[in-house]
Amino acid sequence: MSPPVYLDHAATTPVDPRVAAAMAECLTADGVFGNPASAGHVHGEAAFERVEAARAAVAAAVGADPQEVVFTSGATEADNLAIFGVAEHARPRGRHVVTARTEHKAVLDPCRELERRGWQVTYLAPDERGRVAPDRLAAALRADTVLVSLMHVNNEIGTVQDVAAFAAVCERHGGAWLHVDAAQSVGKVALDFHASGAALMSLSAHKSHGPKGVGALLLSRRHGVRIEPRQFGGGQERGLRSGTVATHQVVGMAAAFALAVAARPAEAIRLAALRERLWRGLEAHGGALRNGAPEDTVAAILNVSFADVEGESLLAAVAPRISVSTGSACTSASGEPSYVLRALGRDERLAEASLRFGLGRSTSAEDVDEAIAAVGAALSRLRRIGGGCAIAS
């Protein structure tokens, strides 16, 4: 059997050797292995300097100031810190939060938890392309709204949202801070924290060919953002995220972000061409419906629903050959049809029979052609044996 085609979700690829080398330097006896919090100690000083250089590099990659960066274990932790941190801090002013149905679970589940604790949450519906209309946001804001959490790039569809328009709405409202989950953005689309107008922003390293288990929350100084910490201890990260900073991890994140930002302009063009090649090939198999519009989705993601085929069988037939998923890694584990596609208006059956193709640094035209052929073979076999009866049920 031929090996699987590596249509790469950035998240499932190995880190770049240059990133790995920078990380390794922070682990071994001849490298920078000290505790960055042990100031005054020679090894500690060296590690501190590496961490601060990484902070500066991460900030530079996303248009932020180094003082605005709080390192975390990933975007999940950053989302949780943002949502609970703002909600707790702003509790005296109000207990209403606005988000969208298409957010990642790392935003939706903290919002559900806030509801259990007595907050009120409004879940905005996106349009059929996955975008939340700024007007809808404006209409949802109330006197007691303290936080709006809306993502930049959707992880399943690739839809890019107009963060600056959301920020303008929040600014007019006056009382609500905008938090943006930008876990998917770095290297896929231009990202500038200050220009975006967001008050808080979550980042993740591994969606940009970096190491897993590291990310950051950005807190805007211009907005004077204040949050309550979630974790207490040594007071690292200005008391907002206690715990020894993982030197090798933040160094890896900084290196990966620098590479991703430098490669972005050329990669966006290369991947857009590959994505259209993939779409044309899949479309030719018949019954393919594209989720999200090409003009407002990142080139690295193509999400397609297939008519007249059963979702689970399609994924089972295709997954051993090509790396695709039906949704995010988290929702496909539950076996539920994607709530993101359902929110875009796809019926349950089509939402189930959908594949998310990720294109990345390692993806070639040959990979794309193999993927087209593999999906085509699976579709014709399944549609033949399905004979329409499974479709009617």
Ligand X SMILES: *Cc1c(COP(=O)(O)O)cnc(C)c1O
- One symbol per residue from 206 to 235: x for binding ligand X (CB under 6 A), - otherwise; what is it? -x-------x--------------------
204 near ligand X, rule: CB under 6 A: yes
Q: For ligand X, which residue of 99, 161, 184, 249 counts as binding (CB under 6 A)?
A: 184
Closer to ligand X by CB, 27 or 329: give it.
329
Compute and round to an integer the Cα radius of gyration of the chain: 22
Tell me the window of 159-167, 177-185, 218-226, 229-237 that interacts with ligand X (CB under 6 A): 177-185
**Catalytic annotation, pick one of 26, 111, 170, 330:** 330
Task: Tell the smallest beta-carbon distance from residue 250 to ligand X (Å).
Answer: 13
How many other CB atoms sit within 10 Å of the CB of residue 393?
6
106 near ligand X, rule: CB under 6 A: yes
Closer to ligand X by CB, 94 or 215: give it.
215
Label the pairing between strands 200-204 and 215-219: antiparallel
Query: Are the C-beta atoms of 292 and 383 separated by less than 8 Å?
Result: no
Task: Tell the smallest beta-carbon distance from residue 283 to ligand X (Å).
Answer: 26
Q: For ligand X, which residue of 76, 149, 249, 363 counts as binding (CB under 6 A)?
A: 76
From the list 209, 221, 195, 228, the residue with the least C-alpha distance to 83 is 228
DSSP-derived 3-state class of residue 310: coil
Query: Are the C-beta atoms of 33 and 48 separated by less than 8 Å?
Result: no
Closer to ligand X by CB, 285 or 325: give it.
325
From the list 301, 46, 266, 295, the residue with the least C-alpha distance to 183 is 301
155 near ligand X, rule: CB under 6 A: yes
Closer to ligand X by CB, 147 or 382: give it.
147
Q: For ligand X, which residue of 8, 16, 181, 237 counts as binding (CB under 6 A)?
A: 181
Reading the block at residue 116, the tokens are 């259990």
81 near ligand X, rule: CB under 6 A: no
Q: For ligand X, which residue of 22, 32, 151, 199 counts as binding (CB under 6 A)?
A: 151
From the list 196, 168, 158, the residue with the least C-alpha distance to 64 is 196
Side chain identity at residue 338, one-letter code = S
Report the alpha-carbon distance of residue 80 to residue 183 in Å, rounded.
13
Provide the β-strand partners of residue 302.
Answer: 357
Provide the β-strand partners of residue 179.
Answer: 149, 200
Tell me the window of 46-54, 179-187, 306-314, 349-357 that interacts with ligand X (CB under 6 A): 179-187
Task: Tell the smallest beta-carbon distance from residue 294 to ligand X (Å).
Answer: 20
Task: Tell the smallest beta-carbon distance from residue 333 to ligand X (Å).
Answer: 14
133 secondary structure, DSSP code? P
How many other CB atoms sit within 10 Å of the CB of residue 237?
20
189 secondary structure, DSSP code? S
Report the alpha-carbon distance of residue 112 to residue 297 in Å, rounded.
28
Active site residue 170: no
Provide the β-strand partners of residue 178.
Answer: 148
Tell me the window of 30-38, 72-80, 226-234, 380-388 that interacts with ligand X (CB under 6 A): 72-80
75 near ligand X, rule: CB under 6 A: yes
Closer to ligand X by CB, 303 or 375: give it.
303
292 near ligand X, rule: CB under 6 A: no
Provide the β-strand partners of residue 200.
Answer: 179, 219
Report the alpha-carbon distance of residue 65 to residue 57 in Å, rounded.
10
Closer to ligand X by CB, 32 or 83: give it.
83
Q: For ligand X, which residue of 104, 188, 361, 383 counts as binding (CB under 6 A)?
A: 104
| CA distance from start to end of the chain | 34
Q: For ligand X, which residue of 34, 74, 311, 327 counts as binding (CB under 6 A)?
A: 74
Task: Tell the smallest beta-carbon distance from residue 79 to ligand X (Å).
Answer: 6
From the list 300, 68, 325, 296, the residue with the least C-alpha distance to 203 is 68
Task: Tell the smallest beta-carbon distance from residue 207 to ligand X (Å).
Answer: 6
Reading the block at residue 129, the tokens are 């392309």
DSSP-derived 3-state class of residue 131: coil
Q: Which residues are catalytic?
A: 330
Q: Which residues are at the interface with ligand X (CB under 6 A)?
A: 74-76, 104, 106, 151, 155, 181, 183-184, 204, 207, 215
